[in-house]
Protein backbone atom coordinates (compact mmCIF):
# COMPACT_ATOMS: atom_id res chain seq x y z
CA UNK A 1 0.00 0.00 0.00
CA UNK A 2 3.02 2.27 -0.45
CA UNK A 3 1.18 4.41 -3.00
CA UNK A 4 -1.11 5.76 -0.28
CA UNK A 5 1.60 6.45 2.31
CA UNK A 6 1.85 10.12 1.40
CA UNK A 7 -1.80 10.74 2.31
CA UNK A 8 -1.60 9.08 5.71
CA UNK A 9 0.07 9.88 9.00
CA UNK A 10 2.03 7.12 10.75
CA UNK A 11 0.63 6.84 14.25
CA UNK A 12 4.12 6.44 15.65
CA UNK A 13 4.78 10.07 14.71
CA UNK A 14 1.55 11.51 16.11
CA UNK A 15 2.67 12.11 19.74
CA UNK A 16 5.12 14.79 18.50
CA UNK A 17 8.54 13.37 19.37
CA UNK A 18 11.41 15.86 19.47
CA UNK A 19 12.90 16.31 16.00
CA UNK A 20 16.67 16.57 16.07
CA UNK A 21 17.35 16.76 12.36
CA UNK A 22 14.93 19.27 10.82
CA UNK A 23 16.50 22.55 9.75
CA UNK A 24 19.92 23.62 11.00
CA UNK A 25 21.73 22.53 14.14
CA UNK A 26 19.45 22.22 17.20
CA UNK A 27 20.14 24.06 20.45
CA UNK A 28 23.13 22.47 22.14
CA UNK A 29 23.42 21.16 25.68
CA UNK A 30 19.70 21.35 26.45
CA UNK A 31 19.35 20.49 30.17
CA UNK A 32 17.06 17.82 31.52
CA UNK A 33 13.63 19.05 32.63
CA UNK A 34 14.00 20.59 36.06
CA UNK A 35 10.66 22.36 36.36
CA UNK A 36 12.46 25.70 36.28
CA UNK A 37 10.89 28.24 33.99
CA UNK A 38 14.09 29.90 32.83
CA UNK A 39 16.85 27.29 32.78
CA UNK A 40 19.73 28.81 30.74
CA UNK A 41 20.46 27.04 27.48
CA UNK A 42 23.57 27.61 25.34
CA UNK A 43 23.06 28.67 21.76
CA UNK A 44 25.00 26.74 19.10
CA UNK A 45 28.14 28.40 17.79
CA UNK A 46 26.47 29.00 14.43
CA UNK A 47 23.92 31.81 14.65
CA UNK A 48 20.53 30.14 13.98
CA UNK A 49 19.06 33.08 12.16
CA UNK A 50 22.05 34.13 10.08
CA UNK A 51 20.93 36.33 7.18
CA UNK A 52 22.77 37.56 4.08
CA UNK A 53 24.95 40.54 5.02
CA UNK A 54 23.24 42.69 2.40
CA UNK A 55 19.88 42.52 4.15
CA UNK A 56 19.20 44.84 7.08
CA UNK A 57 16.16 44.46 9.29
CA UNK A 58 15.00 47.70 10.87
CA UNK A 59 12.55 48.24 13.66
CA UNK A 60 10.32 50.06 11.18
CA UNK A 61 9.32 46.83 9.40
CA UNK A 62 5.59 46.40 8.82
CA UNK A 63 5.25 43.65 11.41
CA UNK A 64 6.90 45.60 14.25
CA UNK A 65 5.68 48.69 16.17
CA UNK A 66 7.42 51.97 15.47
CA UNK A 67 10.53 52.31 17.65
CA UNK A 68 13.90 54.10 17.51
CA UNK A 69 15.75 52.94 14.39
CA UNK A 70 18.05 50.10 15.43
CA UNK A 71 19.99 47.79 13.16
CA UNK A 72 18.94 44.41 14.54
CA UNK A 73 21.80 42.69 12.72
CA UNK A 74 24.21 44.67 14.85
CA UNK A 75 22.91 42.96 17.99
CA UNK A 76 25.28 40.05 18.54
CA UNK A 77 23.89 37.10 20.49
CA UNK A 78 26.85 34.84 19.76
CA UNK A 79 27.47 32.63 22.79
CA UNK A 80 24.34 33.91 24.57
CA UNK A 81 22.08 31.60 26.55
CA UNK A 82 18.45 30.93 25.78
CA UNK A 83 16.68 32.22 28.87
CA UNK A 84 13.16 31.09 27.93
CA UNK A 85 11.80 27.56 27.69
CA UNK A 86 9.93 26.12 24.71
CA UNK A 87 6.44 26.97 26.00
CA UNK A 88 7.43 30.62 26.61
CA UNK A 89 8.80 30.98 23.09
CA UNK A 90 5.71 29.31 21.62
CA UNK A 91 3.46 31.78 23.44
CA UNK A 92 5.33 34.68 21.86
CA UNK A 93 5.05 33.12 18.40
CA UNK A 94 1.31 32.55 18.82
CA UNK A 95 0.83 36.11 20.03
CA UNK A 96 2.64 37.43 16.97
CA UNK A 97 0.64 35.23 14.60
CA UNK A 98 -2.68 36.01 16.32
CA UNK A 99 -2.03 39.73 15.93
CA UNK A 100 -2.12 39.29 12.16
CA UNK A 101 1.22 41.06 11.82
CA UNK A 102 2.78 38.03 10.10
CA UNK A 103 1.65 34.71 8.68
CA UNK A 104 3.24 31.45 9.80
CA UNK A 105 4.95 31.07 6.42
CA UNK A 106 6.33 34.62 6.55
CA UNK A 107 7.58 34.14 10.10
CA UNK A 108 9.37 30.90 9.20
CA UNK A 109 11.08 32.69 6.31
CA UNK A 110 11.96 35.65 8.54
CA UNK A 111 13.78 33.51 11.12
CA UNK A 112 15.42 31.36 8.46
CA UNK A 113 13.84 27.96 9.13
CA UNK A 114 11.56 25.67 7.18
CA UNK A 115 7.79 25.75 7.62
CA UNK A 116 8.09 22.10 8.71
CA UNK A 117 10.44 23.02 11.55
CA UNK A 118 8.17 25.84 12.74
CA UNK A 119 5.03 23.69 12.58
CA UNK A 120 6.77 20.87 14.42
CA UNK A 121 7.90 23.23 17.19
CA UNK A 122 4.46 24.80 17.56
CA UNK A 123 2.86 21.36 17.61
CA UNK A 124 4.81 20.30 20.72
CA UNK A 125 3.98 21.38 24.27
CA UNK A 126 6.00 21.34 27.46
CA UNK A 127 8.99 23.28 28.73
CA UNK A 128 11.55 21.11 26.93
CA UNK A 129 9.51 19.46 24.17
CA UNK A 130 10.46 20.94 20.81
CA UNK A 131 13.97 21.98 21.79
CA UNK A 132 15.41 19.92 18.94
CA UNK A 133 13.69 22.01 16.29
CA UNK A 134 15.74 24.76 14.67
CA UNK A 135 12.73 27.05 15.08
CA UNK A 136 13.25 27.14 18.86
CA UNK A 137 16.61 28.90 18.90
CA UNK A 138 15.82 30.96 15.81
CA UNK A 139 12.52 32.28 17.23
CA UNK A 140 14.12 33.02 20.60
CA UNK A 141 16.80 35.10 18.88
CA UNK A 142 14.15 36.91 16.81
CA UNK A 143 12.23 38.03 19.90
CA UNK A 144 15.34 38.63 22.05
CA UNK A 145 16.81 41.08 19.54
CA UNK A 146 13.56 43.02 19.40
CA UNK A 147 13.33 43.05 23.16
CA UNK A 148 16.85 44.47 23.39
CA UNK A 149 15.93 47.09 20.78
CA UNK A 150 12.84 48.11 22.77
CA UNK A 151 10.36 46.67 20.27
CA UNK A 152 7.28 45.28 21.99
CA UNK A 153 5.26 42.30 20.84
CA UNK A 154 2.30 43.38 18.69
CA UNK A 155 -1.22 42.93 19.99
CA UNK A 156 -4.34 41.97 18.11
CA UNK A 157 -5.92 45.06 16.58
CA UNK A 158 -9.35 45.80 17.99
CA UNK A 159 -11.84 47.52 15.71
CA UNK A 160 -14.55 49.61 17.29
CA UNK A 161 -18.01 48.93 15.90
CA UNK A 162 -20.64 51.70 15.73
CA UNK A 163 -22.62 50.07 18.55
CA UNK A 164 -19.53 49.90 20.75
CA UNK A 165 -18.73 53.54 20.02
CA UNK A 166 -22.24 54.62 20.98
CA UNK A 167 -22.09 52.59 24.18
CA UNK A 168 -18.74 54.12 25.05
CA UNK A 169 -20.07 57.65 24.55
CA UNK A 170 -23.22 57.00 26.54
CA UNK A 171 -21.33 55.39 29.37
CA UNK A 172 -18.58 57.98 29.71
CA UNK A 173 -19.55 58.59 33.32
CA UNK A 174 -19.87 54.95 34.36
CA UNK A 175 -17.44 53.18 36.64
CA UNK A 176 -14.57 51.07 35.33
CA UNK A 177 -16.28 47.86 36.46
CA UNK A 178 -19.45 48.73 34.56
CA UNK A 179 -17.43 49.51 31.44
CA UNK A 180 -15.62 46.19 31.76
CA UNK A 181 -18.93 44.35 32.09
CA UNK A 182 -20.28 46.03 28.96
CA UNK A 183 -17.16 45.15 27.00
CA UNK A 184 -17.42 41.52 28.11
CA UNK A 185 -21.09 41.36 27.14
CA UNK A 186 -20.35 42.88 23.74
CA UNK A 187 -17.92 40.12 22.77
CA UNK A 188 -19.94 37.20 24.20
CA UNK A 189 -21.78 35.06 21.64
CA UNK A 190 -25.42 34.29 22.47
CA UNK A 191 -26.21 30.76 21.25
CA UNK A 192 -28.88 30.04 23.86
CA UNK A 193 -31.56 29.74 21.18
CA UNK A 194 -29.75 26.85 19.44
CA UNK A 195 -30.06 23.33 20.87
CA UNK A 196 -28.26 20.25 19.54
CA UNK A 197 -29.30 16.65 20.11
CA UNK A 198 -27.24 15.14 22.91
CA UNK A 199 -25.84 18.40 24.30
CA UNK A 200 -27.55 18.00 27.69
CA UNK A 201 -25.29 15.00 28.30
CA UNK A 202 -22.29 16.39 26.40
CA UNK A 203 -22.86 13.69 23.81
CA UNK A 204 -23.28 15.64 20.57
CA UNK A 205 -21.83 13.57 17.69
CA UNK A 206 -18.66 15.25 16.41
CA UNK A 207 -18.06 15.48 12.66
CA UNK A 208 -14.87 17.55 12.54
CA UNK A 209 -11.26 16.50 13.00
CA UNK A 210 -9.17 18.23 15.65
CA UNK A 211 -7.18 19.98 12.91
CA UNK A 212 -10.39 21.36 11.39
CA UNK A 213 -11.57 22.67 14.76
CA UNK A 214 -8.16 24.27 15.31
CA UNK A 215 -8.49 26.02 11.96
CA UNK A 216 -11.89 27.39 13.00
CA UNK A 217 -10.55 28.55 16.38
CA UNK A 218 -7.64 30.40 14.78
CA UNK A 219 -9.96 32.15 12.34
CA UNK A 220 -12.45 33.05 15.09
CA UNK A 221 -9.78 34.57 17.35
CA UNK A 222 -8.73 36.92 14.54
CA UNK A 223 -12.20 38.50 14.36
CA UNK A 224 -12.48 42.10 15.66
CA UNK A 225 -13.55 42.25 19.29
CA UNK A 226 -12.94 38.55 20.02
CA UNK A 227 -10.67 37.86 22.97
CA UNK A 228 -9.19 34.56 24.08
CA UNK A 229 -10.60 34.99 27.61
CA UNK A 230 -14.15 35.49 26.34
CA UNK A 231 -13.82 32.63 23.89
CA UNK A 232 -12.81 30.35 26.78
CA UNK A 233 -15.98 31.43 28.60
CA UNK A 234 -18.05 30.79 25.46
CA UNK A 235 -16.62 27.27 25.22
CA UNK A 236 -17.29 26.55 28.88
CA UNK A 237 -20.93 27.54 28.34
CA UNK A 238 -21.36 24.73 25.79
CA UNK A 239 -20.78 22.01 28.41
CA UNK A 240 -23.93 20.86 30.19
CA UNK A 241 -23.21 17.36 31.51
CA UNK A 242 -21.96 16.20 34.93
CA UNK A 243 -18.32 16.42 33.82
CA UNK A 244 -18.59 20.16 33.16
CA UNK A 245 -15.70 21.98 34.90
CA UNK A 246 -16.71 24.41 37.63
CA UNK A 247 -14.46 27.15 36.27
CA UNK A 248 -14.05 28.39 32.67
CA UNK A 249 -11.20 27.03 30.60
CA UNK A 250 -7.82 28.67 31.03
CA UNK A 251 -5.83 30.19 28.18
CA UNK A 252 -3.10 27.60 28.70
CA UNK A 253 -5.59 24.80 28.03
CA UNK A 254 -6.70 26.45 24.80
CA UNK A 255 -3.10 27.08 23.73
CA UNK A 256 -2.15 23.46 24.39
CA UNK A 257 -4.95 22.25 22.13
CA UNK A 258 -4.16 24.82 19.43
CA UNK A 259 -0.50 23.78 19.38
CA UNK A 260 -1.28 20.09 18.81
CA UNK A 261 -1.30 18.64 15.34
CA UNK A 262 -3.10 15.64 13.85
CA UNK A 263 -6.66 14.59 12.93
CA UNK A 264 -7.35 13.22 16.42
CA UNK A 265 -4.63 14.93 18.48
CA UNK A 266 -6.62 16.44 21.33
CA UNK A 267 -9.81 14.48 20.64
CA UNK A 268 -10.20 13.61 24.33
CA UNK A 269 -9.97 17.27 25.33
CA UNK A 270 -13.10 19.05 26.54
CA UNK A 271 -11.82 22.07 24.59
CA UNK A 272 -12.20 20.10 21.35
CA UNK A 273 -15.74 18.94 22.08
CA UNK A 274 -16.91 22.34 23.35
CA UNK A 275 -15.38 24.13 20.36
CA UNK A 276 -17.09 21.76 17.93
CA UNK A 277 -20.46 22.41 19.59
CA UNK A 278 -19.80 26.16 19.60
CA UNK A 279 -19.00 26.33 15.88
CA UNK A 280 -21.82 23.97 14.94
CA UNK A 281 -24.29 26.26 16.72
CA UNK A 282 -22.70 29.27 15.02
CA UNK A 283 -23.15 27.57 11.64
CA UNK A 284 -26.83 26.91 12.33
CA UNK A 285 -27.45 30.40 13.72
CA UNK A 286 -25.86 32.01 10.64
CA UNK A 287 -27.80 29.70 8.29
CA UNK A 288 -24.67 28.32 6.61
CA UNK A 289 -24.69 24.92 4.85
CA UNK A 290 -22.50 22.00 5.88
CA UNK A 291 -18.98 22.19 4.49
CA UNK A 292 -17.47 19.62 2.14
CA UNK A 293 -15.28 18.43 5.02
CA UNK A 294 -18.31 18.01 7.26
CA UNK A 295 -20.22 15.95 4.68
CA UNK A 296 -17.21 13.70 4.10
CA UNK A 297 -16.79 13.19 7.86
CA UNK A 298 -20.42 12.09 8.12
CA UNK A 299 -19.80 9.63 5.30
CA UNK A 300 -16.62 8.30 6.93
CA UNK A 301 -17.87 8.05 10.53
CA UNK A 302 -21.62 7.45 10.28
CA UNK A 303 -24.31 8.86 12.54
CA UNK A 304 -22.31 8.67 15.80
CA UNK A 305 -19.37 10.81 14.70
CA UNK A 306 -15.69 10.31 15.47
CA UNK A 307 -14.40 8.05 18.22
CA UNK A 308 -13.26 10.53 20.88
CA UNK A 309 -11.70 7.75 22.97
CA UNK A 310 -8.78 7.72 20.51
CA UNK A 311 -6.22 10.50 20.22
CA UNK A 312 -2.71 11.04 18.91
CA UNK A 313 -1.17 9.20 21.87
CA UNK A 314 -3.26 6.04 21.60
CA UNK A 315 -1.25 2.83 21.18
CA UNK A 316 -2.35 -0.13 19.07
CA UNK A 317 -1.36 -3.79 19.15
CA UNK A 318 -0.64 -5.07 15.64
CA UNK A 319 0.63 -8.26 14.10
CA UNK A 320 4.33 -8.50 13.33
CA UNK A 321 5.15 -6.77 10.06
CA UNK A 322 2.12 -4.47 10.14
CA UNK A 323 1.68 -0.87 11.25
CA UNK A 324 -1.40 1.29 11.91
CA UNK A 325 -1.94 4.47 9.92
CA UNK A 326 -4.37 7.32 10.44
CA UNK A 327 -5.80 9.14 7.41
CA UNK A 328 -6.80 12.81 7.31
CA UNK A 329 -10.27 11.94 8.62
CA UNK A 330 -8.87 10.14 11.69
CA UNK A 331 -9.73 6.67 10.42
CA UNK A 332 -7.31 3.88 11.42
CA UNK A 333 -6.09 1.30 8.93
CA UNK A 334 -3.50 -1.43 9.60
CA UNK A 335 -1.06 -2.31 6.79
- Give one DSSP letter per residue of 222-253, joined into a string: TSTT--HHHHHHHHHTT--STT--SSPPPHHH
pTM of the full structure: 0.48
Quick: pLDDT tens for 67-89. Answer: 445 677 778 777 778 889 998 89
Cβ contacts of 163-169, under 8 Å, gap ≥ 24: 164/225
CA separation for the pair 206, 17 (Å, rounded) = 27
Position 177 scores a pLDDT of: 52
Highest mean pLDDT among 49-53, 80-84, 112-116, 215-219: 215-219
The per-residue DSSP string of 52-75 comes to: -TT----TTSTTS---S---GGG-
Position 328 scores a pLDDT of: 86
When comparing pLDDT for 219 and 324, which is higher?
219
pLDDT class of 187 with cuts at 50, 70, 90: low
- 217-241 CB burial, b ≥16 within 10 A, e <16: beebbeeeeeebebbbbbbbbbbee
Quick: pLDDT tens for 271-322. Answer: 999 999 999 999 999 999 999 999 999 999 988 899 888 776 666 677 787 8
Position 119 scores a pLDDT of: 85
pLDDT class of 127 with cuts at 50, 70, 90: confident
Position 236 scores a pLDDT of: 93
The per-residue DSSP string of 246-295 comes to: SSPPPHHHHHHHHT--STTTTTT-HHHHHHHHHHHHHHHHTTPPPPHHHH
- Percent of the chain's residues with pLDDT above 70: 67
Whether the predicted pLDDT of 210 surpasses 90: yes
- 48, 108 contact by CB (below 8 A): no
CB neighbour list of residue 82: distance below 8 Å, 6 or more residues apart: 27, 40, 41, 42, 43, 136, 137, 140
Give the dihedral sign, CA 269/270/271/276.
positive
Amino acid sequence: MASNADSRTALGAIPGAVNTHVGHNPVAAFPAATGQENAPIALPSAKPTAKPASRKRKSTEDHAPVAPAVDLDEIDLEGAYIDENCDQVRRKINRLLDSGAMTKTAFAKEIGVSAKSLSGFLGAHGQVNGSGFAAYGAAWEFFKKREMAGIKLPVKKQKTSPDTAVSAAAGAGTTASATSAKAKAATAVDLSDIHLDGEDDDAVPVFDTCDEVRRKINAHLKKPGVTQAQFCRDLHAQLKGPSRPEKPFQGTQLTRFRNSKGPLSGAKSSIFYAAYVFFEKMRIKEGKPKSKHRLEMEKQWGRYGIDRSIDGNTSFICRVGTQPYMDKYGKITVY
